[in-house]
Each structure stands twice: as C-alpha cells, then as structure tokens.
Chains A and B, each alone.
Chain A
Amino acid sequence: EIVMTQSPATLSVSPGERVTLSCRASQSVSSKLAWYQQKPGQAPRLLIFGASTRASGIPARFSGSGSGTEFTLTISSLQSEDFAVYYCQQYNNWPPITFGQGTRLEIK
C-alpha cells in the first residue's frame, strides 16, 4: 500500500498570502496524483488531477506540480473561500487508492 504523507497538518495564513502544501508518496506514483478541497459538511471537490492539471471550473490561483514521490499544491493568493482542508490522493497503484491525512488551512 502506498502511504501518502501531507505536510504541514495545519497552516495558519492570512488572506492574500501565497501558500504551498506538500504531499509525499512512499513510492513513486508517477503523475497519478490528485488534490481535493473539502469544506465542513461538504463532499470533497476535485482541484487538480494528473499532478498539475486544473479540474473544470477551478480558478487559476490553484496550481499543482511534482511527479514521482514529491508533490505540491500552491494557492497564489488566498481568498476567504479557500480556507478548508486539502487532501492529496494517489491512483497509480491500487487497490487501495490512498489519500493523505489532509492539510487544514486556517485563517491567521
């Protein structure tokens, strides 16, 4: 099973700041990596697939990069609606599909 590790667990940031979230895989997942955003009481929302491709309707301030075992999600200028929990997911080697434990973005 591929273990996905996200860091940090929580990030306190101010609106307008640039933020980078990290995700590491225990073995290579090639570019089969997705990022999801989840707000309280809601289902996850796909942001990025293929490590770097924005999903339909996702603002350009969200960008993903990386391949192999190291990945990042960058939000160029945080908006109030971006405060949420972010999960990475690998789908290169499954079952099982595995998620990171999440990074919570909170308002500083």
Chain B
Amino acid sequence: EVQLVESGGGLVQPGGSLRLSCTASAFTFTSYDMHWVRQAAGKGLEWVAAIGTAGDTYYSGSVKGRFSISRENAKISLYLQMNSLRADDTAVYFCARKDYADAFDLWGQGTMVTVSS
C-alpha cells in the first residue's frame, strides 16, 4: 500500500529537541520532493519545511534556524530535526509527498508534538 507513516512525536520541554521520522512505502521515494506541514489544535494547516530530490531544503520563517529537514533514501525515510522548541511549535506534524503537479497528493497520519514544561 502506498503510504507515509510518521513517528517520533511526544512531550518535550521548552528549549528541547525532538526528531520526527516519516517512512515511505510502495512508491519510488527518490523521485519525490517531500514536505512537513503542521497543525495546532483547532487551527489551520501551516507549511514547515521541504526537501527536494537533490537534497535542496526550504523552511518557513517560523522554524528557520531551529528545524532541519533531511532524507535518507536508502531507508526511504524523511526526517525533521527540531531544536530550541517553543510552546507554539505544539502541533500535529504531517509529512506529505509533492506530486508531479506540485500539490500534496499523499499525507501521513500525523504525529503529535507537545512542547510544555
């Protein structure tokens, strides 16, 4: 089955770090740009970061310098290293595949990140 599965969420104190993972199944991972999108409780969708097939990376202003996106094609996995976490980073984090038409055609189920003391 074509799918994305996130893991690594949890409770972390302000200023702490967390690494999210997203594992792909049943498609050619190396052919797709990948993105992270987050959603705070009761709020809308917020784009976080992207990585291209060549490893080029892009970030939203709110996470630039604190978060790092990477991919490991041999493990068909996408990562989001989150440092200096703040309360307003609390959200469900989704990984998403960008298709040939540039829209997000495949999403994971999300992993919850809570930043609280």
Which residues of A pack against B, CB within 8 Å?
A: 1, 32, 34, 36, 38, 42-46, 49-50, 53, 55-56, 87, 89, 91, 94-102
Number of interface residues of B (CB under 8 A): 22
Instruction: Tell me whether B103 and A95 are in contact (CB under 8 A).
Output: no
Bound: A56/B107 CA distance, A: 14
Tell me the minimal C-beta distance from A95 to chain B in angstroms: 4
- List, sorted by A's number, 16 A–B pairs whose CB atoms are closer than 8 Å: A1-B61, A34-B103, A43-B94, A43-B109, A44-B37, A46-B103, A49-B103, A49-B105, A55-B103, A56-B105, A89-B103, A91-B103, A94-B47, A96-B61, A99-B45, A102-B44
Among A43, A96, A98, which residue has the most Cβ atoms of chain B within 10 A? A43
Majority DSSP secondary structure for residues of A touching B:
loop
- Measured between beta carbons, the chain A residues less than 8 angstroms from B47 are 94-99
Contact among B44, B94, B105 with A100 in the assembled complex (CB-CB below 8 Å): B44
- Pair A95/B60 contact, Cβ less than 8 Å: yes
Complex Cα distance, B110 from A25, in Å, reads 27
Q: Is B108's CB within 8 Å of the partner chain A?
A: yes
Contacts of B102 in A (CB 8 A): 32, 49, 91
Residue of A nearest to B95 (CB): A43
Q: Does B80 contact A (CB under 8 A)?
A: no
Q: How far apart are B22's CB and chain A's nearest CB, in angstroms? A: 12
